[in-house]
């Protein structure tokens, strides 16, 4: 489905009925990374998976996509769908957007799922790397980004043993628009440190992380768990940064049992 929100055509999928659960995708992927969750969870819940601007089937714009801008897109989508309260889940960049959305409208978030993400802003070196990534996307295109990023996103177990996931992730990344990759890269570099937000998160929160995640490692997840009062942490064995695709059964089981309290 597509709706005009916040000045762009935002594409999203809705599957199933029940308590609404919004899942926000990682960079530079799109809503289809959530396929294993949509399949399994839409039997019991309403799963809403939007494509951020610049990704999947959503429209793109030209300026940096700050996490606040992406959060506003999602908030306007929820308004369009007449949803006042949701469970909000985000993986990596999806988690950065979830923090921004929580700061704007904590009352709309009944529960949080934070997967393979972190509260910290980028270091100075990290910011330089974002600019280099944006330039590379413009000069060489998404395929080069996909080749470079796939071994960083996926864990060593997946890289060695699960070629179908490797190919799926590579294909998803190479289908991303140049605008999406470069503008969200620049937007992530501008994001705030979310550590001060963590003590204010009052809703039940599930934190997930792949044991082999090198981008947002287990220590980053432990930091979230230590600072978010009502949180539980689960480390997913044999998974890297895209833990939901790398070990979908473990991921789904954790999410399913967390979601039971909201039925």
Residues found near ligand MLT in the complex (CB under 6 A) = 26-27, 92-93, 188, 215, 241
Secondary structure (3-state) at 92: coil
* Residue among 18 and 151 whose Cβ is closer to ligand MLT: 151
* Residue among 27 and 65 whose Cβ is closer to ligand MLT: 27
* Residue among 46 and 130 whose Cβ is closer to ligand MLT: 130
What's the min distance (Å) between Cβ of 166 and ligand MLT? 15
What's the min distance (Å) between Cβ of 118 and ligand MLT? 8
Joined together, the tokens standing for residue 217 give 């490692």
What's the min distance (Å) between Cβ of 103 and ligand MLT? 18
Q: How many Å apart are CA 177 and CA 179, to the nearest integer? A: 5
DSSP 24-63: EPPTT--GGGGHHHHHHHTTTSEEEEEPPTTSTTS---SS
* Residue among 45 and 191 whose Cβ is closer to ligand MLT: 191
| 99 contact partners, CB below 8 Å, separation of at least 6 | 67, 119, 194, 197
Q: Are 87 and 114 in contact (CB under 8 A)?
A: no
What's the min distance (Å) between Cβ of 215 and ligand MLT? 5
């Amino acid at each position: 489905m597509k709706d005009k929100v916040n000045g762009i055509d935002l594409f999203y999928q809705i599957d199933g009925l029940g308590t609404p659960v919004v899942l926000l995708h990682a960079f530079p992927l799109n809503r289809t990374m959530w396929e294993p969750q949509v399949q399994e969870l839409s039997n019991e819940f309403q799963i809403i998976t939007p494509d951020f601007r610049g990704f999947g089937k959503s429209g793109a714009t030209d300026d940096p996509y700050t996490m606040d801008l992406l959060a506003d897109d999602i908030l306007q989508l929820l308004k369009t769908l007449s949803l006042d309260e949701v469970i909000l889940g985000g993986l990596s960049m999806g988690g950065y957007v979830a923090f921004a959305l929580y700061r704007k409208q904590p009352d709309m978030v009944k529960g949080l799922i934070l997967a393979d993400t972190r509260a910290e802003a980028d270091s100075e070196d990290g910011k330089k790397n974002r600019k280099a990534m944006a330039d590379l996307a413009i000069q060489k295109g998404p395929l080069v980004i996909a080749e470079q990023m796939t071994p960083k996103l996926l864990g060593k177990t997946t890289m060695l043993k699960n070629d179908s996931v490797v190919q799926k992730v590579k294909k998803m990344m190479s289908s991303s628009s140049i605008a999406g990759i470069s503008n969200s890269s620049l937007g992530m570099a501008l994001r705030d440190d979310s550590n001060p937000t963590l003590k204010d998160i009052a809703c039940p929160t599930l934190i997930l992380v792949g044991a082999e995640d090198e981008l947002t490692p287990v220590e980053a997840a432990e930091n979230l768990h230590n600072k978010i009062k009502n949180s539980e942490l689960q480390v997913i064995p044999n998974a890297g940064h895209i833990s939901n695709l790398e070990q979908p059964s473990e991921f789904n089981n954790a999410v399913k049992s967390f979601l039971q309290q909201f039925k």
